[in-house]
Amino acid sequence: MKNSLHFILLLLFLGCSSKKEKEVIITTNNTYKQSEMAALMLQMYAANLENKKLILEGKTPADFPDEFLNIHTAKLTDASDRNASFNSFSEYYLKTLAQVYTAKDSLKLKHNNAINSCIACHQTTCLGPIPKIKKLLIK
């Protein structure tokens, strides 16, 4: 029963199609190993959640997280997903995110542009996280 619960929670947490399930390796002690890209995207989510909080408090996020530049090299579950479309979306995300850290005005709009770039990319490859990502938008 405990193993089943861990597996169900893991699937809910990852929320992607069968491609995402490939990156999950369940071992005999119920641990799993995620891809470098999945780990990076979780960091991106956390940073964007913090940015949302700061922006709602009227503050500007301080420093662009340089580790996000690893989006170009982080290992994907399926290497074939790193294609021209992925590369374009990655570049656009980094560009829109950088604007959040350098904005003098329209911070909410620039934050939402960065989040919408995530959503646009996920609409092409991995739909599962979209509802979670949408929670990062500032209404």
What pLDDT, in 10s, does the model give residues 17-42?
433 333 444 455 667 789 999 999 99
Look at residue 13 in the predicted model and tell me its pLDDT.
42
Give residue 135's pLDDT band: very low, low, confident or very high (50, 70, 90). Answer: very high
Over the stretch 39-92, which tens digit does the pLDDT of each residue have?
999 999 999 999 999 999 999 999 999 999 999 999 998 899 999 999 999 999
Q: Is the model's pLDDT at 9 over the cut of 70? A: no
pLDDT value of residue 134: 98
Q: Is 118 exposed, middle or buried (0-12, 13-18, 19+ CB in 10 A)?
A: buried
- What's the whole-model pTM score? 0.76
pLDDT at 113: 98
